[in-house]
Amino acid sequence: MSRLATFLTRTAGTKDKADSFTIQDFLAYAYLFVGVLVILVPVLWTFFSSIKSDTAVESFDTRLMPMDQISQMVDGVGEKDVWVYTAEDGRTQLVFKAGPTRKLTDVAPVDDPEAVFQVPRKSLTPHEDIRVAVENYLDPILKRNGQDNFHFFTYLYNSVFVTVIATLITLLINAMAAFALSKYRFRGRLTFTILIVATLLIPSSIILVSLFFVVWSFGIFGSLWGVIIPAAATPTGVFLLRQYMLTIPDELLEAARMDAASEWRIFWRIIIPLSLPALSVLAILSVIWRWNDFLWPLIVLISDPAAHTLQLGLTQFAGEFDTNFHYILAMTVVTLIPITLVFVWLQRFITTGIATTGLK
Amino acid sequence: MTPAGFTVAFAALFWGLGGAIWLLMRRRYTHRQIPQFFMDLLGFPVELAQSLFGRAGVPYALLLPNMLIFGFFTFLPMILNFYVSFTGGASISLFDRPWVGWEKYADIFNCENFLSPKSCSNPGYNFWTGMFNTLWFVLIQVPILCVAALITALVVNQNIKGRGFWRAMFFYPVMLSPVVIANIWNWVLHRKGALNASIGEARDAMTGLAGLSGFDMVATVIFAVILLIVSERSLRSNDGPSASWTAVFGALIAMLVYWSQPLSLLGLPGSGWLGLVMAAGLYWAVSTEQSFARMAIIGAGILAVIMLLMIQFDAVFSFGRYRPINWLVTPKTGWPFFWLVFVFCWSHMGFYMLILLAGLQAIPRDLYEAAKMDATKPFRAFYRITLPLVMPTLTVVLVLSLIRSFQIFDEVYLLTGGGPGRETFMVVQNIYEVAFSNDHPDYGQAAAGSILMAIVIAVFTFFQLWLTRRQSDL
Amino acid sequence: MNDKPNSNKTRALQLSDIRKSFGEVDVIHGIDLEIEEGEFIVFVGPSGCGKSTLLRLIAGLDDPTSGDINLNGKRVNNVPASERGLSMVFQSYALYPHMTVGQNLSFGLENLRMDRAEIDKRINDAAKLLQIDHLLGRRPGQLSGGQRQRVAIGRAIVREPVIFLFDEPLSNLDAELRLQMRVEISDLHAKLKNTMIYVTHDQIEAMTMADRIVVLRGGNIEQVGRPLDLYNHPKNKFVAGFLGAPQMNFLEGTLDGNVMSLNCGMVRDVPLAQPGKGAVTLGIRPENIHVDLGGKGDETVTVQNFEQLGAVTYIYATFANGDTLTVQHAHQIPLQKGQELGVSFPTESFHLFGEDGASMELAR
C-alpha cells in the first residue's frame, strides 16, 4: 500500500531498507521540527524578553537581542539619550534632543552641545547597544527600586518546604501502603485496593468545598501543612509502587524472614532499596505536582502573604503590576528555571521512567 | 492548645519516647547502628503491630497512614459534600449551618429553558454557563489532544535520529507550572506580542513580494514545477500510488482550489471546502487501494493545471495592512476559546504521548515482521496491528484526559479569567468563585455544583468506558 | 525425648498429621514423618505433589492447617521462621541484589544482634569452605550461576542452623554445573554433618544424594526409605515408575492363581507369595530385559526406534498388540528400524502390581 503507512507502522530500530532520506522521513522531521518550535519559541521568547530593558519591554520591541538606548553625560546639559541622525545624503551623526519631540525636532551633536539644529523626527533613530537588563531580576529579588511586594525568598522557601516535605511523606506512606498491598495476603486486601482505585477516580476539584471544611476543622487551614497533608497520599503513587513491588520475588522476603528480619526491617532494608527506580519516578512526579500546584494553595494560603508559594506569589505579583511586564517576565523565568534544570538534568530518566512505569 | 495540636503532641510523645523505650528494651544498638535505630523508631508502630498481632497485623499498620489521609481528605469530603450542599449560610463551622434542603439545587435548576443559561436564576446562569463551556471544551479538547498525542507518539517511535531529544522536548511543557504557562502565553498572545508581530511581518513580507513585477508568472511556474514533481512522485511506484506523496499532492490541490475559487464561476461563494474534499477523497482512494486511484490522481493533476492558470498570485499574496488582534480578550471571535484549547494541548500533550509511546513500544516487533512475511500492506498493518494493540493504552489516555480536561481551572483562570464576558468561564471556576473569591461565600451552592459536576464526569467516564469496553484495561 | 549426649541418633524433626489447605484446596493430606539428626533427606515427587509446601511448613514460612511440627522435641508451630534455627536455600537463591556477597551473608547475623567479630569469623569460615572468599565484595548480579548458588549456601551455613532446607536449589543450573554442585553439596553434608532436607523433582538428585528419600504424590507420602530400597522394592506402581530412567516398563494383563497372562501375549508362571485373581500390571526395568539378537528369546518385538549412546543402547519396541517396551542394552548392537528382536524377561526382576497399584510380594 502506501509509504505513509509504512511510516505509521514502522517501529523504532526497524530499518526497512538502507535507503536514503525518504518522503516519510521528511514528513517526520518536519512534524518534529514544527512541534519543537511551537514548544520552545514561546519559552525562549519569554526568556529573551525578560532580559530586555523596561523601555524595550514596554514598547514591545520584537527584536531578539536585548537592545537598550545609550545615554551619555553631555557637558553642561546632563544625562541625555543618544540618537543617531541620518542626513539625507546618508551621513550619520550622534545627537541628543535639545527640545521637545515635534515633527521638526531640535537636536545638538553630543560632542558640541551648543550647535543646535532642526531635523525631521523620522530621521532620528535611537543609538543602541546590547545590554542584559539584570535589574529585571535583581530588583524584585533584592527589593530594590520600590519592588518590595515580591518576597522572593519567602516564596522560594515556602515552595521548597512544601515540595520537599510533601514528597518525603508521599514516598514513605505510599511505599508502605504499596508494600502491604503487593506482598501480604490479608483480609480486606481487595477492599483496600478498590478504595484506592476509587480515590483515583474522584477528581480533586469536586471535593474542594468540603475539603476546605475538613482542613479548616483540623486547624491547618492557612498553613503550609494544609497544602502538604491532604495531597500526601496519592493513589497514583500507591499503584505505581505496587506494580513495581509485585516484580520483587517473594523468595527475597522469605529469605529475609529466615534471616530473622522484622517486617519493618524487610520494608526498609529490602523493599525500599529494590524499589528505588519506581520511587525516584514517584519522587519526580511528586516534585512536579507539588511545585506546580495552584488551585488548592490558592484556596488555603491566599489570605496570608507570608505563606504564599512561588506560584501564588507570581500570580499576585502579575495581578498587582499590570504594566511592569519586565519584572513579571523575569520572575516567570526565575520560577521556571528550577524545574527546567531538573528536567535537563534528568530528562532521559524522567521520560523513560514515566513511560515504563506506566500510568499517571 | 487546639484539639488537633493536642492529638499531634500526644502522638509524637507516644511515638518518639514510647517507641524509643520499647526498642531499647528489646534490642541492643551499637553506635554504628544509630541510623538503624532511627529507622526502627520511624517504623515503631509497624514493629509494635508485629509484636502484638504477629505478621497478620503488619499490613494494616502499613496501610494506616495512607488510608487515614485518604479517609479524611478524600472520602470524608466526598460525603460531606452532600451535607454541605443541603445547608446554607456562610459559616465555616459545620454544625452552625442551617439546613435548607434542596434549595441550592433548586436555585441551579431554576431555569425557564434548560438549553439557554440566560433564562436561569443567577446561580443557575453561572453554573450552566460554566457547564456548557466545559462540555464544549471537553468535546473539542479530548479528541484533539488524543489524536495529537497519538501522532506524536507514532512519529517519535520512528527510526529517527535523536529520539530521546524529541521525546524530551515534547514532554517539557508538562513540567511547567500553570502560572508560568499563563504568563508565557499571555506575553506571546498580547495585542503587541510576538504572535501578532510575526504575523504582521510575514504578511508585510508577502505583500511586498507580491508587489514585485513578474511575481505572478514566477509563482505560477514554481507551483507548476512543484505540482509536476509531486504528482510524478506519487505515481512512480509500480504497485499503486504512494500515499504519503498523495497527501502532499492533496495539500497542494486544496491550496490551489482555495486560491482559484473555481465555484465562483458558477456564482457560488467559498470553494475552500471543495479542495479539502478533493484532497481527502484522493487520499482515501490511494490508501484503500481503489483501482481508480491512479486515474484520480492524473485527473486531479489536469484540474490543478487549469486552476493554476486561473490564479492571480499577486492578488493572493497581497494582504494589505495587518490589524493586530487581542487574542485573549476580543469577544465573539472564538479566539480566546481556541487559544485555551491550544495552550491546554501544548502543556498536556507530552504526558499522554509518553503513555502512548510506552504502549507502542510494548507491541512486539515480531508482529510487524510476521505481517511483512505475510505480505501485509503497511496501512493494513497499522489498522490491524498497531491500532488494536495500542487501543488499551489509548482508552486509558482518553479517560485520564477526559477527567483532566473536565477539571480545567488553572489555565483559564490565569489566561482569560473566564472572559471575555463568560466565553471561557468553566465550571470549576464557578465553584471556586462561589465558595472562595466571593464576599459572601455560598458553600452550599458550590457543593451542590460540585456534586452535579461529579455526576456529569461519572456519566461521561462510564459512557466512554462502555464504548471502549473491550479494549479497556483500567 | 532422647536428650542424652552421644546417643547414636536423636530425632531432629518430627511431623505428625500435618495438613495444609489454601482456601478450599487441600495441598497436604496428613503427613507423618520423623527425621533423625544428621540425615540427608530428599523430598521428591512430581510438581504439585506438595513437597515445596511441606518444606515451607517446616521452615515456618507457612503455618499448617493442623498437625504438629516438633523440632528437637519442641513444638514449633507458633515459633516464627527466624527463631526456629533453620536456614534455607531458595530455588532462585533469593540473594539480596542490592547488597554485596559479604552483606548478604551478614544480614541475618546482624538481625540476630551478633558481635561484629563473630560475624566476620563466620563469614570467613563459610567463604573459605565454599571458596567464595574472593567474591565477598561483589554484588549477586556480577556472579555466575554456580557462584550465586554457593553464596546462597554460604548464607545458610553462617547461621549454623539445626537443619538446612534446600528448595530445588539446582534447577536453575545447566547440566554440567548441576552435576558438580550435586557432588559439592554431598561433600558439604559429609563435612558439616548437619541435618539437611532437600526438595527436588529430579529423581537422579534424589537417588544420588539422599540418605533417605521421601516420595510424595498429591499431598501424601507414597514411600520413605533408602534410595536403593526404593528402587528395588517400590511399594507401588507410582514409586516404581517415578524412580529410574528410562522409566520402568508396565505391561497390563490378568492374573489367575499363579498364572499371569499379559495383553501382549506373554503367559508366565509367577511365584506369588499370595496367589490371586484379577487385573495385574507387570513392571520390569529396561536394564533387566535381555536382548537375543538371534530372534529367539521369550518374546518377539518389533524395533520402532533406537538410540545408540555408545556405552548403552536404548531400544524402543512394540509388541504385536501395540504395547510398547523400552529396553536398555549395555553394549553396542547393530539394529534396524522394523527389525524383529527376541527379548527375554527374567522372573527374578519382575515387579507385580495389583489393581490398586500396590506392589504384590513375590516369593524369591
Nearest residue to C151 via CA among C191, C192, C104: C104
More confident residue, B257 or A132: B257
Query: In this complex, do A11 and B365 lie within 8 Å of one another by their Cβ atoms?
Result: yes
Chains with 3 or more CB pairs under 8 A to chain C: A, B
- Cβ contacts of B27 on chain C, cutoff 8 Å: 113
> What pLDDT digit, counting tens, does each position of C291-309 carry?
887 667 788 889 999 999 8
Best-predicted range by mean pLDDT (A176-180, B169-173, B259-263, B311-315): A176-180
> What pLDDT digit, counting tens, does each position of C260-286 carry?
888 888 888 888 888 888 889 999 999
Q: For A71-126, give the CATH class.
A: mainly beta
> Is the bond preceding C227 in cis, omega lying within 30 degrees of 0?
no
> Is the bond preceding B420 in cis, omega lying within 30 degrees of 0?
yes
User: Is B28 touching C (CB cutoff 8 A)?
Assistant: yes
Quick one: angle between helices B215-236 and B194-211, nearest 10? 110
**C338 alpha-carbon distance from chain centroid:** 37
Q: Chain A interface, mutation test: which of B15, B70, B286, most A Cβ atoms within 10 Å?
A: B70
Half-sphere exposure of A207 (CA within 13 A, CB side): 22
Order of strands across the sheet with C340-344?
A: C290-292, C340-344, C299-308, C313-318, C324-329
Does the pLDDT at position B360 exceed 90? no
Nearest residue to A213 via CA among B69, B82, B443: B443
- Cβ contacts of A262 on chain C, cutoff 8 Å: 111
Of A131-145, A288-302, C206-220, the poorest mean pLDDT is in A131-145
Q: What is the pLDDT of residue B3?
A: 67
Q: What is the pLDDT of residue B473?
A: 47
Cα gap B50→A270, rounded to integer Å: 17
Does the pLDDT at position A360 exceed 60? no
Measured in angstroms, the CA of C151 and the nearest CA of chain B are apart by 25
Q: What is the pLDDT of residue A322?
A: 60
Does the pLDDT at position C30 exceed 60? yes
Does the pLDDT at position A313 exceed 60? yes
Domain chopping of chain C, boundaries: 11-242, 249-360
- Cβ contacts of B368 on chain A, cutoff 8 Å: 9-11, 14
Query: In this complex, do C88 and A255 lie within 8 Å of one another by their Cβ atoms?
Result: yes
Q: What is the mean pLDDT of chain B?
A: 83
- Cell digits of residue C348: 527374578
- Cβ contacts of C172 on chain A, cutoff 8 Å: none
Helices (H), B157-214: 163-175, 178-189, 194-211
Average pLDDT over residues B319-325: 73
Average pLDDT over residues C16-44: 90
CA angle A332, A334, A337 (to 5 degrees): 105
CA angle B238, B239, B243 (to 5 degrees): 105
Q: Given 3.40.50.1100, 1.10.3720.10, 1.20.1440.60, 3.90.550.10, which CATH number is that of B117-189+334-467?
A: 1.10.3720.10
Cα gap C176→C167, rounded to integer Å: 19
Q: What is the pLDDT of residue A5?
A: 52
Whole-complex ipTM: 0.82
The nearest alpha carbon in chain B to C79 belongs to B54
Q: What is the mean pLDDT of chain A?
A: 81
- Cell digits of residue B359: 504502549
Does the pLDDT at position A176 exceed 60? yes
Q: Chain A interface, mutation test: which of B183, B237, B326, B438, most A Cβ atoms within 10 Å?
A: B183
- Cell digits of residue C1: 525425648
- List the single residue in A62, A328, A339 with the smallest CB-CB distance to B194: A62
Best-predicted range by mean pLDDT (A22-31, B94-103, B229-238, C81-90): C81-90
- Cell digits of residue C154: 554460604
Order of strands across the sheet with C74-75?
A: C25-36, C11-22, C66-71, C74-75
Q: What is the pLDDT of residue B362?
A: 83
Domain chopping of chain B, boundaries: 3-71, 117-189+334-467, 195-316
Q: What is the pLDDT of residue A124?
A: 76
CATH topology of domain C249-360: OB fold (Dihydrolipoamide Acetyltransferase, E2P) (2.40.50)
Does the pLDDT at position A16 exceed 60? no
> What pLDDT digit, counting tens, does each position of A189-240 carry?
899 988 888 887 788 888 888 898 888 888 888 888 989 999 888 888 898 8
Does the pLDDT at position C43 exceed 90? yes
Average pLDDT over residues A127-149: 76
Average pLDDT over residues C341-359: 88
Half-sphere exposure of A203 (CA within 13 A, CB side): 24
Q: What is the pLDDT of residue A7?
A: 53
The nearest alpha carbon in chain C to B32 belongs to C116
Chains with 3 or more CB pairs under 8 A to chain A: B, C
The nearest alpha carbon in chain A to B433 belongs to A299
Q: Name the pLDDT band for C44 (thresholds 50, 70, 90).
A: very high
> What pLDDT digit, counting tens, does each position of B221-242 carry?
888 888 888 888 777 766 667 7
Does the pLDDT at position A320 exceed 70? no
Gap between the terminal Cα atoms of chain B: 46
Q: Name the pLDDT band for A292 (thresholds 50, 70, 90).
A: confident
> What pLDDT digit, counting tens, does each position of A30-69 carry?
899 999 999 988 898 888 888 887 777 777 666 777 777 7
Of A39-53, A86-100, C3-17, the poorest mean pLDDT is in C3-17
Nearest residue to A286 via CA among A194, A353, A223, A187: A353
Query: In this complex, do B243 and A2 lie within 8 Å of one another by their Cβ atoms?
Result: yes
Domain chopping of chain A, boundaries: 3-50, 71-126, 149-357
Q: Name the pLDDT band for A319 (thresholds 50, 70, 90).
A: confident
- Say which CATH architecture domain C11-242 belongs to: 3-Layer(aba) Sandwich (3.40)
Best-predicted range by mean pLDDT (A53-67, B299-313, B315-329, C63-77): C63-77
User: Is B446 touching A (CB cutoff 8 A)?
Assistant: yes
Question: Which residues does residue C16 pair with via DSSP β-bridges, in sequence order?
Answer: C68
Q: Given 1.10.3720.10, 3.10.129.10, 3.20.20.80, 1.20.1250.20, which CATH number is that of A149-357?
A: 1.10.3720.10
- Cβ contacts of B465 on chain A, cutoff 8 Å: none
> What pLDDT digit, counting tens, does each position of A245-256 carry?
988 888 899 899
- Cβ contacts of A339 on chain B, cutoff 8 Å: 175-177
Does the pLDDT at position B148 exceed 90? yes
More confident residue, A170 or A140: A170
Does the pLDDT at position C227 exceed 90? yes
Average pLDDT over residues C176-186: 89
Query: In this complex, do B454 and A23 lie within 8 Å of one another by their Cβ atoms?
Result: no
- Cβ contacts of C116 on chain B, cutoff 8 Å: 30
Cα gap B98→B308, rounded to integer Å: 75
CA angle A285, A290, A295 (to 5 degrees): 125
